[in-house]
Amino acid sequence: MPFPIEIDQVRRTEVKLGVTFPKSFVARMLADNGGDIVIEDEAWSLNPFLDWTDKVRLKRTCNDIVGETINAREWSGFPQSGISIASNGMGDHLVLLPDPSQSDLLQPVVFMWSHETGELDKVADDFAAIR
C-alpha cells in the first residue's frame, strides 16, 4: 500500500539523478508513492521515491527510482539517459526521457522499454493519462 510523501523526497531524488520530474508524475507520486498501474491490460509496479521518514516507509520504498534506474541501465539497450519509473516484473520498464532541448528536464511522455528488443514505444503523451 503506497503512502503519500513530501516534496523533499522528490527533490532529493532529482538531485541524485540530475533531473527534474514532470509535474504530472510528481503530483501522482506525492499522493501515492508507488503502487500499481495498468497499461493495455498489463500491470506495472511504480518505482517509489525513497522515503526515509520512518522504518516502515524506508522498507517499502527501498526499490526506489534511483536504484531501479541504476539496475536498468546495466541492461544492454536500456537508454542511458532514461529514468525507470515502473517495471512489469518480466524485465520491461516504463521510462521517462530527458527533453532534447533541456537534458535535466524529463519529458511527460511515458515510454515502454522492451528488454527483449531494446526498443522504446510511447504508451502515453503524459503520465497524467495513465490510471
Domain membership flag for residue 80: yes
Confidence of residue 59 (pLDDT cuts 50, 70, 90): confident
Q: Which domain holds residue 17?
A: 7-129
* Backbone torsions φ then ψ of 85, nearest 5 degrees: -110, -10
* Backbone torsions φ then ψ of 61, nearest 5 degrees: -115, 15
| Residue 83 scores a pLDDT above 90 | yes
- As a whole number, mean pLDDT of residues 106-111 equals 98
Domain membership flag for residue 75: yes
**In the chain, how many domains are there?**
1
| Residue 131 scores a pLDDT above 80 | no
Confidence of residue 58 (pLDDT cuts 50, 70, 90): confident
Confidence of residue 95 (pLDDT cuts 50, 70, 90): very high
β-bridge pairing 42-46 and 36-39: antiparallel
- As a whole number, mean pLDDT of residues 10-21 equals 97
Domain membership flag for residue 2: no
- Give the domain CATH number at 57: 3.40.1580.10
| Residue 74 scores a pLDDT above 90 | yes
